[in-house]
Amino acid sequence: MKQPVKWLVALLAIALLITSAAIVSPKRSDAFSDQIVKVGAQGKDVREMQGRLKYLGFYTGKVDGVFGWRTYWALRNFQYEFGLKVDGVLGPKTKLKLYNATKNWRPTAEELGVPQTAKTPSKSKAPTYHAHGISENDIRLMANAVYGEARGEPYIGQVAVAAVILNRTRHPSFPNTPAGVIFEPRAFTAVADGQIWLTPNETAKKAVQDALKGWDPTGGAIYYFNPDTATSAWIWSRPQIKKIGKHIFCR
């Protein structure tokens, strides 16, 4: 009789351990898979990321499950705003931060990838936009860019840099959002050397607001450069409009 009793006690102990582990272990959220998601990826994780970023106002495009550049810049902006490593990669830390920041998010039919028949579009929460369809996040990024690129320039020169960013969003050769313009590869020195992440002062912020109100000291420029430091022969070939401070503004 002793041997069966010992086995019974052992089995009960194992059952208790398993039950305790299930209670103590945190419940895994039904969010994302374990894969690292990068540009070029497609599928459920990308669709969920886009939906959550859209809920927060960082992403304004179509939730299509395709990790393109628009999604990439939206993710980078989220990482920056939430104090994460800014690499545009959806890894474990970014997934957790994004999940915790969007616990009230519920996927729409579009975000789930469910085909819809033609109906009256449902109302959904959208980010706050200002002139030109610019979001609060865009305004913050523009202030960062102006400060990183043009601090020390006369005020009109700082407005001019902000105006160039806006002019590019309306030009077919460039991305149509400030974030896309600012983070386009090799577009701005401040992004390349990291000065884009410096905290902008009030002058840079005001310069952005004046540009948004329609002040364009450049006369429609989409490029600018410093003639004292420019090494590109191509930039010198652009039609020049005027010089403001140390920068020459071009078409």
The answer to whether residue 107 sits within a structural domain is: no
Give the pLDDT confidence score for residue 120 in this predicted structure. Answer: 45
DSSP letter string, 185-251 = TTS-HHHHTTGGGSPP-HHHHHHHHHHHTT--TTSS-SEEE-TTT---HHHHTSPEEEEETTEEEE-
Give the total number of structural domains in the chain.
2
How many Å apart are CA 207 and CA 161, to the nearest integer?
Answer: 9
| Owning domain of residue 61 | 32-99
The answer to whether residue 155 sits within a structural domain is: yes
The answer to whether residue 115 sits within a structural domain is: no
How many Å apart are CA 112 and CA 47, to the nearest integer?
Answer: 7
The answer to whether residue 177 sits within a structural domain is: yes
Q: What is the mean pLDDT of residues 17-37?
A: 59
CATH number for the domain that contains residue 182? 1.10.10.2520
Can you say whether the dihedral through the CA atoms of 189, 190, 191, 192 is positive or negative? positive
> Which of 118-127, 162-171, 184-193, 207-216 has the weakest average pLDDT?
118-127
Domain edge (last residue) among 49, 81, 99: 99
Q: Are residues 143 and 67 in the same domain?
A: no
pLDDT digits (tens, 9 = 90+) for 93-144: 999 999 998 888 988 876 776 665 544 444 444 444 454 568 888 899 999 9
Give the pLDDT confidence score for residue 139 in this predicted structure. Answer: 93
The residue whose two tokens read 């090799």 is: 186
Q: Are residues 57 and 143 in the same domain?
A: no
pLDDT digits (tens, 9 = 90+) for 194-204: 899 899 999 99
Q: In what order do the strands lie in the sheet with 247-250?
A: 223-225, 247-250, 240-244
The answer to whether residue 110 sits within a structural domain is: no
Q: Are residues 207 and 148 in the same domain?
A: yes
Give the pLDDT confidence score for residue 24 in this predicted structure. Answer: 37
Quote the pTM value.
Answer: 0.52
The answer to whether residue 63 sits within a structural domain is: yes
Q: Are residues 140 and 243 in the same domain?
A: yes
